[in-house]
Amino acid sequence: MFENKENRTELSRIGEFGLISRLASVFPATRADTLTGIGDDAAVIDTGGQPVVISTDLLAEGVHFDLSYMPLKHLGYKAIVVNLSDIYAMNATPGQVLVSVALSNRFSLEAVEELFEGVRLACQKYQVDLAGGDTNASSSGLILSVTAIGKADRDALTYRHTAKEHDLICVSGDLGAAYLGLQLLNREKRVFAENPGVQPDLTGYDYLLERQLKPEARHDIVEDLRTAGVKPTSMMDISDGLASELFHICEKSGTGCRIYEEKIPIDVKSAELAEEFNMNPTVCALNGGEDYELLFTVNQNDFEKIRTIKDVHVIGHITNKDSGKALIGKGDTETPLKAQGWEAFKDRE
Amino acid sequence: MFENKENRTELSRIGEFGLISRLASVFPATRADTLTGIGDDAAVIDTGGQPVVISTDLLAEGVHFDLSYMPLKHLGYKAIVVNLSDIYAMNATPGQVLVSVALSNRFSLEAVEELFEGVRLACQKYQVDLAGGDTNASSSGLILSVTAIGKADRDALTYRHTAKEHDLICVSGDLGAAYLGLQLLNREKRVFAENPGVQPDLTGYDYLLERQLKPEARHDIVEDLRTAGVKPTSMMDISDGLASELFHICEKSGTGCRIYEEKIPIDVKSAELAEEFNMNPTVCALNGGEDYELLFTVNQNDFEKIRTIKDVHVIGHITNKDSGKALIGKGDTETPLKAQGWEAFKDRE
């Protein structure tokens, strides 16, 4: 019934972000207690007490994860962490998660228990409760849907749309490693498929693999900022790659930005593997995704306060909208920043 | 890695409810603000203001719906309604939903818009905002995950575990119709597959089809109870069939129950179609599921208050645990109630 060929627009033509902005225009928030609706890391709901911050993510086998190299325990852990990351990115503290799973009969009870062991470890580490969910059969593969719930004082919340001209742009940790870890796993999978007798050689790559298979959410940075008395003027987590996230902040804030290639933090292991793959490490950092680091902006007056926080790097500043979004290269060359990010519907024709 | 054949327990052996109770035992609520965790219609979270009530459901194509007779607009509508029903079943008022979708490239933008048109209509009718979600590619079919968020005063909330001996057992509306609507659609699908020239004849079955394809959540009953000054001693919605839901209430409340076959409300259209299919209409009502009516218990002293509420039927009473769960047949015969319900992992070998 929906195969009306005469009037068919492929989703790949408008992409995930195009689809979201179309939906957002059809679904304006109408209720006074919907403090934030579509378009930020999480929805924010007024309760009369602390506002509640809620985020949800759906992960599908064959799209978001590959069980041939992703152990189920790691998958359970990562599914929780990436959702908590959205809550921290609002400057809120997560307290509960709901986990829904759909499983084909390929999965045994023991497999489900392994998956939930990962969920349990993440809940324990981040001190959140698994408070509900849904378990279902699936006609193919494994589907995971996680909803994370947090709280924050209303004036502590940080959004994407509130960056101001001259603010400093900061990122935590280093970027590109999770993407390079994925490239490595894909390479070893291909090698193994061609030569089943050859054991994958992953020694020396622990850091990159851990970034891909067992990421952590940067609650430490949120706490360090609080301790330092700094409230970011805007914040989000880096799940789709630095460039794509910068685009979100600039577009929602009505600003431009200027970032410096030499300031983008890249681990030496990432740089080495990028070279091995003939890839540009800066491109991996800009477009790779899945680092779950925090991208935030602060007022210039807070520079002294943040420069002593471990693992926080100033990579540029917010400009006015007309200046565009610029990447200043190592030789002082200026190129317009491009947002590729993780476009769910691209390359899946 | 999880295909350890020597130690493999099929999920179908323990069933959905078995899996949920195993998970619940591994995940006790540890936080003071988790007022209710796994095991009720929704999780309840303390906020300092009104508690927040959150429920989530995952719907997978080929398991929960068949797009050959479920129009996408109806699917979007139903996905919202069944989640709101969980919120009303806690005696709370829903305010927001989050909707995640994963879609294969078989779906066009127009198809997605049809799906979200159904979401929009349901949001409009029940006065809730779509406040976020996630859009993704899927390697096969359509997956929908909906999270519904509501609020209630703390002492208004109703749970499953609080029914008391001698309480009256009530249901709203009528039961079994959604299941019979599904049987009808399945029959017409088979007829059409065998004789593609024959148009399905669904005239006269509007009520049963609507119950299956476009259910509504009983917010009117929740309001009527409030107006009448009755707070149910326990409540849940009927998604898996009356018998299965009664088992939940009795097991969580530590009680038994006694219900009377002749009191179970069954629409005349349901009875007629059951006869046509050689089915027992009582069995359809007990085990059919998807009616999204409310099952609740009230103190006997409230009988006069509820008997004038339209569409509420007293079908029995709560007994002590040792009396078991009994169905009193039309000839005064007593049989133990069996809970079949919708067991996600059964019959899917």
Residue A137 has its nearest CB partner, among B20, B107, B345, at B345
Q: Looking at residues B193-197, what average pLDDT do you find?
A: 84
Task: Name the pLDDT band for A83 (thresholds 50, 70, 90).
Answer: very high
**Cross-chain Cβ contact A98/B43 below 8 Å:** yes
A198: Cβ contacts below 8 Å, ≥ 6 apart: A191, A192
Beta bridge partners of A149: A54, A96
Which residues of chain B have a CB within 8 Å of the CB of A127? 30-31
| Lowest-confidence pick of A5-19, A229-243, A320-334, B160-174 | A5-19
Q: Are residues A320 and A178 in the same domain?
A: yes
Q: Are residues B143 and B284 in the same domain?
A: no
Q: Are residues B179 and B297 in the same domain?
A: yes
Quote the pLDDT of residue B347. 42
Residue A63 has its nearest CB partner, among B16, B132, B136, at B136
Question: What's the number of domains chain B is made of?
Answer: 2
Q: Are residues A175 and A69 in the same domain?
A: no
Q: Which structural domain, as residue segments, surrounds residue B119?
A: 54-153
Q: Tell which of B153, B177, B212 closes a domain.
A: B153
**Cβ burial, residue B287 (10 Å; 0-12/13-18/19+):** buried
Separation between Cα atoms, residue A69 and residue A196, nearest integer Å: 14
Task: Name the pLDDT band for A191 (thresholds 50, 70, 90).
Answer: confident
Per cent of chain A over pLDDT 90 is: 76
Q: Tell me if A8 is assigned to some domain.
A: no
Task: Name the pLDDT band for A2 (thresholds 50, 70, 90).
Answer: very low
Which residues of chain B have a CB within 8 Å of the CB of A12? 105
Q: Are residues A137 and A209 in the same domain?
A: no
Q: What is the pLDDT of residues A107-153, one digit of tens each?
A: 999 999 999 999 999 999 999 999 999 888 888 789 999 999 999 99
Q: Tell which of A155, A182, A210 closes a domain.
A: A155
**Cross-chain Cβ contact B139/A34 below 8 Å:** no
Q: Tell me if B37 is assigned to some domain.
A: no
Which residues of chain B have a CB within 8 Å of the CB of A145? 56, 58, 100, 145
**Alpha-carbon gap: B200 to the closest alpha carbon of chain A (Å):** 15
What is the 8-class DSSP label of residue A65? B
| Lowest-confidence pick of A143-157, A250-264, B131-145, B246-260 | B131-145
Q: Looking at residues B299-316, what average pLDDT do you find?
A: 97
**Cross-chain Cβ contact B49/A54 below 8 Å:** no
Q: Looking at residues B284-290, what average pLDDT do you find?
A: 93
Which residues of chain B have a CB within 8 Å of the CB of A192? none
Check: CB of residue B162 under 8 Å from CB of residue B253: yes
Check residue A65 and give left, alpha or beta (phi > 0: left; psi -120 to 50: alpha): beta
Q: Tell me if A344 is assigned to some domain.
A: no
Residue B2 has its nearest CB partner, among A26, A110, A127, at A110
**Alpha-carbon gap: B103 to the closest alpha carbon of chain A (Å):** 9
Chain B interface, best mutation among A129, A237, A343, A347, by max B CB count within 10 A: A129
Tell me the average pLDDT of chain B. Answer: 91
Q: Tell me if A189 is assigned to some domain.
A: yes
pTM: 0.92
Q: Are residues A328 and A185 in the same domain?
A: yes
Q: Tell me if B8 is assigned to some domain.
A: no
**Cross-chain Cβ contact B131/A11 below 8 Å:** no
Which residues of chain A have a CB within 8 Å of the CB of B151? 33, 47
CATH number at residue B322: 3.90.650.10
Angle (deg, nearest 10), helices B109-126 and B72-88:
30
Which residues of chain A have a CB within 8 Å of the CB of B17? none
Check: CB of residue A256 under 8 Å from CB of residue A250: yes
**Cross-chain Cβ contact B48/A45 below 8 Å:** no
CA-nearest residue of chain A to B98?
Answer: A56
Q: Are residues B144 and B216 in the same domain?
A: no
**Cβ burial, residue B82 (10 Å; 0-12/13-18/19+):** buried
> Does pLDDT of B1 surpass 50?
no
- How many pairs of residues across A and B have Cβ atoms under 8 Å apart? 309
Q: Tell me if A347 is assigned to some domain.
A: no
Tell me the average pLDDT of chain A. Answer: 91
**What φ, ψ does residue A260 adopt, rounded to 5°?**
-110, 120
Tell me the CA distances in angstroms from B249 to B40, B53, B167, B336, one per residue in order: 10, 19, 12, 16
Q: Tell me if B44 is assigned to some domain.
A: no
Quote the pLDDT of residue B59. 92
Element (H, E) at A319: strand A312-320
**Cross-chain Cβ contact A108/B11 below 8 Å:** yes
Q: Are residues B228 and B80 in the same domain?
A: no
Which residues of chain A have a CB within 8 Å of the CB of B98? 43, 54-56, 147
Residue position matching structure tokens 């009953």 = B221
| Secondary structure of chain B in HEC code, one letter for each residue | CCCCHHHCCEHHHHHHHHHHHHHHHHCCCCCCCEEECCCCCCEEECCCCCCEEEEEEEEEECCCECCCCCCHHHHHHHHHHHHHHHHHCCCCEEEEEEEEEEECCCCEHHHHHHHHHHHHHHHHHHCCEEEEEEEEECCCCEEEEEEEEEECCHHHCCCCCCCCCCCEEEEECCCCHHHHHHHHHHHHHHHHHHCCCCCCCCCCCHHHHHHHHCCCCCHHHHHHHHHCCCCCCEEEEECCCHHHHHHHHHHHHCEEEEEEHHHCCCCHHHHHHHHHCCCCHHHHHHHCCCCCEEEEEECHHHHHHHCCCCCEEEEEEEEEHHHCEEEECCCCCEEECCCCCCCCCCCCC
Which residues of chain B have a CB within 8 Å of the CB of A45? 52, 95-96, 131, 149
**Cross-chain Cβ contact A145/B71 below 8 Å:** no
Nearest to B179 by CA among B268, B246, B248, B274: B274
CATH number at residue A59: 3.30.1330.10
Which residues of chain A have a CB within 8 Å of the CB of B47? 47-52, 151
Which residues of chain B have a CB within 8 Å of the CB of A51? 47
**Alpha-carbon gap: A104 to the closest alpha carbon of chain B (Å):** 9
Q: Are residues A209 and A97 in the same domain?
A: no
**Cross-chain Cβ contact A344/B135 below 8 Å:** yes
Quote the pLDDT of residue B348. 35
Angle (deg, nearest 10), helices B177-194 and B268-276:
40
Q: Which residue has the higher pLDDT, A105 or A156?
A: A156
**Cross-chain Cβ contact B11/A131 below 8 Å:** no
Q: Tell which of A155, A189, A208 closes a domain.
A: A155
Nearest to B257 by CA among B333, B212, B316, B339: B316
Q: Are residues B110 and B135 in the same domain?
A: yes
Separation between Cα atoms, residue B291 and residue B281, nearest integer Å: 14
Q: Are residues B172 and B149 in the same domain?
A: no
Q: Are residues A253 and A281 in the same domain?
A: yes
**Cross-chain Cβ contact B31/A128 below 8 Å:** yes
> Does pLDDT of A97 surpass 70?
yes
**Alpha-carbon gap: B234 to the closest alpha carbon of chain A (Å):** 19
Residue B63 has its nearest CB partner, among A20, A95, A136, at A136
Q: Tell me if A348 is assigned to some domain.
A: no
| Lowest-confidence pick of A189-193, A221-225, B29-33, B94-98 | A189-193
**Alpha-carbon gap: A235 to the closest alpha carbon of chain B (Å):** 17
Residue A9 has its nearest CB partner, among B27, B98, B108, at B108
